[in-house]
Each structure stands twice: as C-alpha cells, then as structure tokens.
Amino acid sequence: MPTPTNTVPNPDNYYSGKGIMYFKREGETEFRDLGNCPMFDMTPAVQRLEHYSARNGIRVKDQSLVSSRQLTCRITMDEVTADNLALALMTTPVAAGSPSTDHYDYSMDIMVDDEVRGAVRFVGKNAVGAPIQVDLPVVTFAPGQAITLIQEQYGNLEITGEVSADPTTGSFGKVYWNITQEINL
C-alpha cells in the first residue's frame, strides 16, 4: 500500500481522486449520500484592489491589496433520485403518490425555493494519494445549470454552490489530509 507523506519528492503523493459526496440541507441533522458523483471541484477566487501612483508620466503600481475572497463548489451527480432532482430544481420532494394508484412516488413543484442551503462533505476513497475529507458547512445552491432529460449518453445533474465563510474565523470550511476514516465533528 502506498504511503503518502508530507515530504517531497515522493511518487506516493500523486493523487487520483475518488470519494463519496454528502449533503445536509439546512435544518436537517444527518448528511445524505448523493450517490455516484464523478466530479467535485472547488474554485477559490481572490479579487485585488490595485493602486497606481500618479506622480510620474507612466502609471506605476505601488500597492495591491486583497479586497475579497470567495469559494464556489460544483458537484456532478449521476444518480437522478427524487432528492437529487429536487436539489437541482430548487425544491423539496413530497412523497405524495402511490405507484399502483397514482403512478408516481414523489411530486415536486419546480423552483419554489430561491436557493437551497446546506453543508457539503467529501470523503476521499482514492487508491492513489492521501485520502482527503472536505467539509463546507454553509453552501448556497441556486439555479444555473441545464438539466438535460433527453440525451444519447448517461444523464447527470450538475449543481454549483457559493460557499459562505464563517464570520468569526473567515474560514470557508475544513480539509483533513491523509484520513483513515470519515471525520465527524
């Protein structure tokens, strides 16, 4: 078994990510498995405020400071369950039907919520590289990705969320490196 370390060079530190995605809606107490998710990414962004001196004939940058930080995450879900579809359609599934009499199990009104808030957890299960766990405690998902219901290949649902920082610490979440099991704090 490869042994990742925090020292380089070490080919055991190469990474081929695999893992399990979880979501916990705001107000719920338990994370739920999102099923097979072939893609999870996080995109950090920093905006800078640039200042230029006006004392010479050519503008020269004399200072640059960070004016904002943000983090977005994107998840692609292969399993089109009622809960996953509801997340992508900005709603909550209602168990209102009976397959034998009503001919459906769940119904949902499309886009009745302006946003869906909750926590996201990724637990690494990769065979190459250190397994990583990512906890994003406050993520706001809003509409924006196409939901393709007719296609020539397997379908999926993609959601993108804005991650909120903790107002006290400024942290957007937590990453645990080289985990041996899921961390529940």
> pLDDT at position 1, please?
60
Q: Which pTM was predicted?
A: 0.90
- Per the listing, tokens 């009499």 go with 101
* Residue range 117-155, pLDDT digits in tens: 999 999 999 989 999 999 999 999 987 789 999 999 999
- Per the listing, tokens 């990705």 go with 145
> pLDDT at position 134, please?
98
* Residue range 49-90, pLDDT digits in tens: 999 999 888 999 999 999 999 999 999 999 999 999 999 999
> pLDDT at position 106, please?
85
DSSP secondary structure letters along 17-66: --EEEEEEETT-SS-EE----SEEEEEEEEEEEEEEE-SSSS-EEEEEEE
Radius of gyration from C-alpha coordinates of the chain: 21
Query: Which residue ranges make up each domain of the chain?
Result: 11-177
Average per-residue pLDDT for the chain: 92
